Amino acid sequence: MGQKDLARNQASAGERASVQKLRTRPHAQVLIIGGGINGVGTFRDLALQGVDVALVERGDYCQGASGASSHMIHGGIRYLENGEFRLVQESVVERNRLLRIAPHYVKPLQTTIPIFSTFSGVLAAPLRFLTHKQQGAPKERGAFLIKVGLSLYDFFSRDGGTVPRHQFRGRKRALAELPRLHPGIKYTATYFDASVHNPERLTLDVLQDGEKAGASGASDARASNYLSLVSVKNGAGERGTGSTVKLRDELTGEVFDFSADVIVNTTGAWVDLTNEAMGSASAFMGGTKGSHIVLDHPELLAACNGREIFFEHTDGRIVLIYPMGDRVLVGTTDVDADMAEDAVCTESEIDYFFDLIGHVFPDITVDRDQIVYTFSGVRPLPKHDATQPGFVSRDYRIERRAGAGQGGGAAAVLSLVGGKWTTFRALAEHLSNDVLAELGMPRKVSTAKLAIGGGAGFPDSEDGVQRWIKAHMAAGRDADRTAGLLTRYGTRAGDVINFLDAAPDRLLHSTRELSVRELEFMARNEQIGHLVDVLIRRTSLAFRGLVTGELLNEVAEILAGPLGWDAATRTSEITHAQEVLKRFHGVQVHSLVS
C-alpha cells in the first residue's frame, strides 16, 4: 500500500514508548493485527476482560476502511432486500446504543429519501432477495417498497428506540421542506439514522479505553501504530505454545519477535494477505472500493436543509449527499477492488458524483474547484463471484484456523471477514467471546452500556453543552475555542484543558483551532507517527480543506520538539504530508519551505 511505502521512508527519533511496551514484554495471550475500528474494538473488549492483549497497526489507527466510510451509523435499510434481517436488527440496536454511549461523536441524522415512483422495484426486490443478483436493468425502488422497508426498520427500532419513526410526505409538502429537490418527485420518506462525526477520534477513544482498562487491571494492554506484522517465525512462543511472529517498526525499519497464544486477524480487506504472511493462505476476502468527495458548496449545503439525502441513482446504487458541518459529503461508489492498486478517487468517480447531485438537485451546478478533499477505501467484504458488489453480504463472520493443533501447537488464528462501522461493538463482543473460549476465560464485563472515552458524562442537551463550555472557559480561552475542544475530545477535553493550563499557551498563527500546548498534548498522548496524522486523523483540518503551507510549517515546527524531529526530518514530514494529501485526497498544498 502506497501510504505505507511513503511512511517507511520517514526517519524517526529514538524508540517510541508504544513500541517499547511490546518489545520489553514480547509475549501476550492475544495479538490483534490491524488497528481499524474492529481490531481496536476487540482490543478494548479483551482488555476489559483482563486479557493480556497487544495490538499492532502498520499505519496510523483508522487509516484503512475505517477512515473511508460514509460516516453513517445506520441500520442499513437497503440490506433488507438482501435478506440480511439479523444484520439490520443488530445494526439498529447498535445505532441506538452508540447514540447513548458515544454521544460526543455519534449524533442523530435526519435522512430523506426522494421517491420518483409508487410501485417500481416491487417485483425486482424479491427476485434480488432470492438470488442476490441483479435481474437485468436496475428497477427503481418505489414508494411501496420503501414504505415496507422503513416499517420493518421502525419495528427493529421498537425496543429502546431513541429516534422518531419514519414519515412519508406527498410531493407538495416534500417540496415545501426541500424546495431545490427535483420537481418530478412523487414523495419523500424521512427517517432517522445516525452519523459518526469523527470516526478517527472515536477509534482513538476506543483504543485509549482499552489501554486504560489494561493498565488498571491484571493485564497490560498495549498497542502501537506504525508497527506491522511481516511474517511468522517457525517455533512456538516462549511458553512452548502459541506462535512467534516478526513485527517491523515502520518508522525505523527495526524488526523484532513477538509471541502470542491466540492471533486475531482484523486487517480488513488485507486479511488474506496477512494470513499469507503468517504462512496460512486463505481466500476469504473480496473487497470493493468506494470513494467520496467533500464539497465547499454553500448552495448545496442549504438545499439539504440539515438532512442526509439518501437515494437511488439511475444505476440502482444507493448514494448520498450529506451535510457535515459547513461541508457536503457526497458518495459513494462500489467497485471490485484490486488490492495491488492504491484506493484513490478517480476522475470518472467524480463525474459520477456530479451526475448523482444533478439527479436530485437538477438546478444546482457543481464545479471541480468546489472539491476540498477526496477519499477512498476498500470495504472488507467476503469473496463473491457473480453477485454484484452492491448486493454482497454486509454481515460478518469469524474464521478459525487451528495452527498445528491445540495444546503445544501453533496459535489459533481468528480472521474477521466483514464488519461494518455500525456494528463494531457487537462484533468485538462476538470476537472476544471466541477468544475467551480459546483461552478458557470467562467474560467479566459487558460493553453494551459502557460509555466510550469522552462520551462519559457528555451533556445531553444544548443547555448542558453551554454550561460545560462556560465552566471550562478561562483567560485566553474563549467560548469558541472551548466549544472546539469539547467537539474534538468530548468530556476528555477536561484532561486536555488541565494540560493546556499547566504552562503558557497560544493559538497557532495558521489556524485558531489549535494551540501549541494542544499539539504537544497530542504528541505525548496520541501516538503521532507523522505530521499527516494530525491533519487527517487527530483533527478534521484536511477533511474540511483547511490545510495550507503555513499550517504545515507551523505544525511541523511545534511537533518537532516533543517528537525529536531534526531539521531534515521536519522537511521530509512536510513533503510526506504534501504527497499523501495529493495522492490520496486530491489536495495540492504548496509548501513555504524552499
Ligand X SMILES: Cc1cc2nc3c(=O)[nH]c(=O)nc-3n(C[C@H](O)[C@H](O)[C@H](O)COP(=O)(O)OP(=O)(O)OC[C@H]3O[C@@H](n4cnc5c(N)ncnc54)[C@H](O)[C@@H]3O)c2cc1C
Q: Does 202 sit near ligand X (CB under 6 A)?
A: no
Q: Does 228 sit near ligand X (CB under 6 A)?
A: yes
Strands 72-73 and 222-224, bridge-based pairing: unpaired
Q: Does 493 sit near ligand X (CB under 6 A)?
A: no
- On the question of a cis peptide bond just before residue 24, with omega within 30 degrees of 0, the verdict is no
Sign of the four-CA dihedral 469, 470, 475, 480:
positive
Q: Minimum Å distance from CB 66 to ligand X?
A: 3
Q: Which stretch binds ligand X (CB under 6 A): 307-315, 402-410, 415-423, 472-480?
A: 415-423
Cα 257 to the chain's mean position, in Å?
Answer: 29
Rounded CA separation 523/527 (Å)? 6
Q: Minimum Å distance from CB 158 to ligand X?
A: 21
Q: Minimum Å distance from CB 521 to ligand X?
A: 24
Residue among 267 and 491 whose Cβ is closer to ligand X? 267
Q: Which residues are bridge partners to 412 per DSSP?
A: 262
Q: Minimum Å distance from CB 531 to ligand X?
A: 18
Q: How many CB atoms lie within 10 A of CB 343?
A: 23
Q: Does 543 sit near ligand X (CB under 6 A)?
A: no
Q: Does 225 sit near ligand X (CB under 6 A)?
A: no
Q: Minimum Å distance from CB 456 to ligand X?
A: 23
Q: Which stretch binds ligand X (CB under 6 A): 32-40, 99-107, 443-451, 574-582?
A: 32-40
Rounded CA separation 518/482 (Å)? 12
Q: Minimum Å distance from CB 271 to ligand X?
A: 8
Site size toward ligand X (CB under 6 A) is: 38
Q: Binding to ligand X (CB under 6 A): which residues in 241-280?
A: 266-270, 274
Alpha helices in 141-263 (DSSP H): 143-156, 171-177, 199-216
Q: For residue 509, how many C-alpha atoms fall within 13 Å in the half-sphere facing its CB?
A: 7
Rounded to 5°, angle at Cα 353 from 350 and 358: 130
Q: Does 286 sit near ligand X (CB under 6 A)?
A: no
Q: Which three cell numbers stand for residue 4?
A: 505505507
Residue among 59 and 138 whose Cβ is closer to ligand X? 59
Strands 53-56 and 72-73, bridge-based pairing: unpaired
Residue among 207 and 229 whose Cβ is closer to ligand X? 229
Q: Does 66 sit near ligand X (CB under 6 A)?
A: yes
Q: Minimum Å distance from CB 555 to ligand X?
A: 23
Q: Does 68 sit near ligand X (CB under 6 A)?
A: yes
Q: Which three cell numbers stand for residue 155?
A: 419495528
**Minimal CB distance to ligand X: which residue?**
36
The radius of gyration computed from the CA coordinates of the chain, to the nearest angstrom, equals 24
Q: Which residues of 424-444 are buried (b: 16+ CB within 10 A; e: fewer)?
A: bbbbbbbbbebbbebbeeeee
Please provide the size of the chain in residues.
594
Q: Which amino acid is at 38?
A: N
x-or-dash pattern for ligand X, window 367-406, by CB under 6 A?
----------xxxx--------------------------
Report the residue from 53, 229, 411, 435 that binds ligand X according to the rule CB under 6 A: 229
Q: Which stretch binds ligand X (CB under 6 A): 35-43, 306-314, 359-367, 579-587?
A: 35-43
Q: Which stretch binds ligand X (CB under 6 A): 94-102, 216-224, 417-425, 483-491?
A: 417-425
3-state helix, strand, coil in the chain (%, to 5): 40, 20, 40
Q: Is 156 helix (H, G, I), strand (E, B) or coil?
A: helix
Q: At what angle do helices 37-48 and 424-439 cross, to 10 degrees?
A: 50
Q: Rounded to 10 degrees, what is the CA torsion of 539, 543, 547, 551?
A: 0
Q: Does 36 sit near ligand X (CB under 6 A)?
A: yes
Q: Does 208 sit near ligand X (CB under 6 A)?
A: no
Report the residue from 30, 31, 51, 72 that binds ligand X according to the rule CB under 6 A: 72
Q: Does 432 sit near ligand X (CB under 6 A)?
A: no
Q: Does 484 sit near ligand X (CB under 6 A)?
A: no
Rounded CA separation 417/464 (Å)? 41
| Pair 153, 75: CB distance under 8 Å | yes
Rounded CA separation 166/365 (Å)? 30
Residue among 321 and 469 whose Cβ is closer to ligand X? 321
Q: Minimum Å distance from CB 419 to ligand X?
A: 5
Q: Does 290 sit near ligand X (CB under 6 A)?
A: yes
Report the residue from 44, 307, 420, 585 that binds ligand X according to the rule CB under 6 A: 420
Residue among 88 and 519 whose Cβ is closer to ligand X? 88
| Pair 169, 175: CB distance under 8 Å | no
Contacts with ligand X, residue ranges (CB under 6 A): 33-39, 56-59, 63-66, 68-72, 228-229, 266-270, 274, 290, 332, 377-380, 419-422
